[in-house]
Amino acid sequence: MSRSLAAELRELVAEDLAGPRAMGLSGDHRREFARQRIFAHLDRLSHQDQETPTWSTHASPGTLSPMGEPGSRGSVGEARTLLVPADPEEEQVLAQAVLDALFGMAGLQSLIDDPDIENIDINGCDRVWVTFADGSKRLMPPIADSDEEVIEMVRVAASRFGLAERRFDLARPEVDLRLPDGSRLSALMAVATRPAVSIRRHRFAALSLADLVDLGTLDDAVASLLAAAVRARKNIVVSGAMNSGKTTLLRALAAEIPRRERIVTIEQALELGLDADLDRHPDMVALEARPANIEGEGLVSVSDLVRRALRMNADRVIVGEVLGDEVIPMLNAMSQGRSGSMCTIHADSSAGVFRRIASYAVQAPERLPLESSNLLIAGAIHFVVHLDSEAYDNDAPHDADAPLAAHRDGSRDEFFPAVLSRRRFVSSIREVVDAEGVQVVSNELFRPGRDRRAEPSSPLRQGTLEELRRFGYQGAGVDAFGFPR
């Protein structure tokens, strides 16, 4: 496929989309109009090819009008050599590349659309690594001709996707945003020798607790406890390391919220995607933090949005990820009538959640001391659910020393087989009881077993047990002393 011809067509069709014939078109209709204009321009160029050699010289962008007629702009000196494909399959590939550039992520779009790909990591235009769902990892062909094209690709995405336009330039060399399919993109420039882009795809966007039981993330007893806790409007913190499945579990917990309740989600960059499932959550608002503009104005932080959510008649407030001083307004919201709220946080254990929250609170503008933070935790949080993960051998045949396939240009395929895969599972659940000085008192209801998965440990308090049973909790049997769990 000719990248030059694709760029030419992209500019021509972009002019078509800005013209009067495309006014009022949106969504699929706008995309279909663009597709028709691509083939109209290809037909015109191919007719010109019949009068010239196969490698025909066509004018640069701008010498054709939006309707495909010769225009007044351009000159012979601006001409470039383009090859119009004669094969219909090649035309389809070219048309898709132009559509991806106009409506998607250009050379990245085919990777984003691949359901078998889990993560995409870009270390420059020609160092594109993808990790597949089976754990294998492969170096893919270049997604652009230069690093500048990669930066422009991200810049365009930052201006088009998300709730508000985001900058990506030397003044703001980092950006986080959600792509239309729900993937999370994080990009950096000017702080590394080449642009670095990471895209994390969520393969399980709409899950229930029952689905997680089938996947082995938790068992029936844990699912019953968590479902009842959500329905009983208990405040829940989901913790775990990076890539441990916190967002997935949060979505599954949200699936237990009754449809009539109004939900407000708050995130640094939209990722949860609960607003995409209006059948399950018909009354919900997704809020996204906004960085300041070039003048330093317009900043709206997660902390600001948590405070604003208290005035939005929300039955539940869900904070996608607690990363800083928003922890105090979030805990205040949980303890001031917004019961049933949830959030995620990075921690290495369920007990470590309390230390993490306290460290955020002491760094916040309020500078809360440890004792005050613990009192706030005890009054706001009911349950902490911790996720863990482990690598395991999937028994796939592999040869770590096998030679890589060589190409004529001397390059080699770089591929790492799926030697180890990763399981994610709930390992611990704590019920917060009270605070005593510098300690948060809690009962570890489920603790890591020999296989590190959650197994029953301590019984629920009697009052909590009776309340959860009213909301469908089936119980996990009895403990060694005959007390119900």
Q: What is the pTM of this model?
A: 0.76
DSSP string, 5-28: HHHHHHHHHHHHHHSGGGTT--HH
* 451 Cβ contact list (under 8 Å, min separation 6): none
The whole-number average pLDDT for the span 78-98 is 71
In the predicted structure, residue 94 carries a pLDDT above the cut 60: yes
CA-CA distance, 386 to 376, in Å (whole number)? 20
Domains and CATH numbers, the chain: 1-99 (no CATH), 104-203 (3.30.450.370), 209-392+419-470 (3.40.50.300)
Q: Is 442 helix (H, G, I), strand (E, B) or coil?
A: strand
pLDDT in tens, 204-223: 667 899 999 999 999 999 99
pLDDT at 263: 95
C-beta separation of 256 from 209 below 8 A: yes
Around Cβ 189, how many Cβ atoms within 10 Å? 21
Per-residue confidence band for 50, with pLDDT thresholds at 50, 70 and 90:
low
Residue 240, token pair as written in the block: 């775990």
The whole-number average pLDDT for the span 51-56 is 50
pLDDT in tens, 243-260: 888 999 999 999 999 999
pLDDT in tens, 307-334: 898 889 999 999 989 988 889 988 888 8
DSSP string, 250-294: HHHHHTTS-TTS-EEEEESS--S-GGG-TTT-SSEEEEE-B---T
Residue 299, token pair as written in the block: 């900043």
Q: What amino acid is encoded at 67 in this protein? A: M
In the predicted structure, residue 240 carries a pLDDT above the cut 90: yes
With a pLDDT cut of 90, the percent of the chain lying above it is 43
